[in-house]
Amino acid sequence: MSLLFANSLLNDALALIGALMCLYYFAKCSWGLLVGARAYILPKFWRTDLTSYGDWAVVTGATAGIGKAYAHELARRGLNVVLISRSLERLRATAEEIEQQQGKKTKIIQADFTSGAEIYGPIEAALKDLNIGILVNNVGKTYTMLPCYFLDVPNVDKEILDIMNCNALSVLMMTRIVLPHMLERKKGVIINISSEAGTHPHPLLTMYSATKAFVNFFSRALNAEYKSKGIIVQCVLPLLVSTNLTRLETSIFVKQADDYVREALNTVGIREQTNGCLAHAVQHFVIEMLCPEWLRLTQMSMKNLKRSCEKRRLLLEKYKMT
Ligand SMILES: NC(=O)c1ccc[n+]([C@@H]2O[C@H](COP(=O)([O-])OP(=O)(O)OC[C@H]3O[C@@H](n4cnc5c(N)ncnc54)[C@H](OP(=O)(O)O)[C@@H]3O)[C@@H](O)[C@H]2O)c1
């Protein structure tokens, strides 16, 4: 009798736990959908006027991929743009394109962000008299087309310094340059491009992932510090975008840079941390559900990772041949 009673009690308890779990996931999914609609659908019809933050936007790594798309889109939305990259030729071509297509002013600054702190004096001098409303810390590099073990990174000593300077130091120094002027005017937007790889440790992309986690943490903490002073610090965490960095064709998973940035800019003032577009937000949500961090770091996942790296190597070889 008492065994029967205990059995039915256990059944009831399990049914209650099941019902609570269903309710939890239902509430989580519904909340995710609401937040997603607010961030990615509503701004298509109603969005922040970015010119209200200042006349100029500054974009690092502005002559290709996501940075170039930001430069164009910011000009399309009414801002003049400062472009910073290494190649003078590409800077001039992009500036001309923006002036012709968007009818806004541009200024170019040639700088290599893999260099150390010495490049920031001249950058600060070049930006001195501009009313900068938006800074996009976009420049970033990875060290090899094929993910690999830390010690197998080609020319590892140089790559350590290059990636720290380019992906981390640039974000700190550019912020240090523009933030005081934004604070004087009590308004400004700093958009830092991190990566999905900055949300969890990524073996075989270890240094890249760690620098992107740095950008993620820096942005969120800085936002908390300066939010009440009128400054928005947004951290953007893209998944895959078709650019020179990824060498991937566009697909339902891989966004085209222009489309990606159009959606990402719509989220300024709405999301402090964002995957940038609806497709990436959904992918992030699914990855989080199916692949928790402990699972990603197991030896089984490492084997899968190595297998997919091999596939990518073959894909890149094909890319080189065409
Ligand atoms: N593409 C993706 O799927 C993806 C995903 C997650 C995060 N991200 C992040 O998004 C950002 C942009 O990536 P992307 O894919 O657009 O890259 P990309 O297509 O390779 O473009 C990089 C841009 O940065 C400039 N640049 C590169 N190295 C530089 C350096 N040392 N100094 C100055 N400028 C430099 C390049 O111009 P020059 O060569 O003329 O200097 C170019 O304008 C990066 O921070 C990346 O980590 C990208």
Per-residue pLDDT tens for 239-261? 999 999 888 899 988 999 999 99
- pLDDT of 55 above 80: yes
C-alpha 4/C-alpha 308 separation (Å) is 52
Give me ligand 1 centre to Cα 17, in Å: 47
Question: Which of 130-134, 189-193, 279-283 is the least confident region?
Answer: 279-283
Closest CA to 261 of 147, 134, 146, 123: 134
The residue annotated as part of the active site, out of 40, 53, 70, 208, is: 208
**In the structure, what pLDDT confidence band is assigned to residue 169 with cuts at 50, 70 and 90?**
very high
Residues with CB under 6 Å of ligand 1 are 61-67, 85-87, 90, 111-114, 138-141, 166, 193, 195, 238, 240-241, 243-246
**In the structure, what pLDDT confidence band is assigned to residue 1 with cuts at 50, 70 and 90?**
low
Q: Per CATH, which fold does 36-290 belong to? A: Rossmann fold (3.40.50)
The pLDDT score that the predictor gives to residue 305 is: 86
Average pLDDT across the chain, whole number: 93
**In the structure, what pLDDT confidence band is assigned to residue 47 with cuts at 50, 70 and 90?**
confident
The widest CA-to-CA distance across the chain, in whole angstroms, is 87
User: DSSP readout, 281-315?
Assistant: HHHHHHHHHH--HHHHTSHHHHHHHHHHHHHHHHH
**In the structure, what pLDDT confidence band is assigned to residue 316 with cuts at 50, 70 and 90?**
confident
- pLDDT of 16 above 60: yes
In the numeric block, which tokens belong to residue 318?
């094909």
Averaged pLDDT for residues 269-287: 94
Mutate to test the pocket of ligand 1, among 59, 84, 85 (most ligand atoms within 8 A of CB): 85
Atom nearest to 62 CA in ligand 1: 43
Q: Is the distance from CB of 267 to CB of 274 less than 8 angstroms? A: yes
The pLDDT score that the predictor gives to residue 322 is: 59
Q: Kindly give the residue spans of alpha helices, DSSP state H, lying in 186-256.
A: 206-226
The pLDDT score that the predictor gives to residue 76 is: 97
Which amino acid type is present at position 177? Answer: I
**In the structure, what pLDDT confidence band is assigned to residue 36 with cuts at 50, 70 and 90?**
confident
Closest CA to 215 of 129, 259, 273, 270: 273
For residue 135, the SS3 value is strand
Is position 40 annotated as part of the catalytic site? no
- pLDDT of 178 above 70: yes
Q: Is the distance from CB of 161 to CB of 207 less than 8 angstroms? A: no
Domain range annotation of the chain: 36-290
Tens of pLDDT along 283-300?
A: 998 998 898 888 989 999
Residue minimizing CA distance to atom 1 of ligand 1 = 241
- pLDDT of 78 above 90: yes
Own/partner pairs for 86-92, CB < 8 Å, 24+ apart? 86/110, 86/111, 86/112, 87/63, 90/63, 90/64, 91/62, 91/63
Averaged pLDDT for residues 30-53: 82
The pLDDT score that the predictor gives to residue 312 is: 76
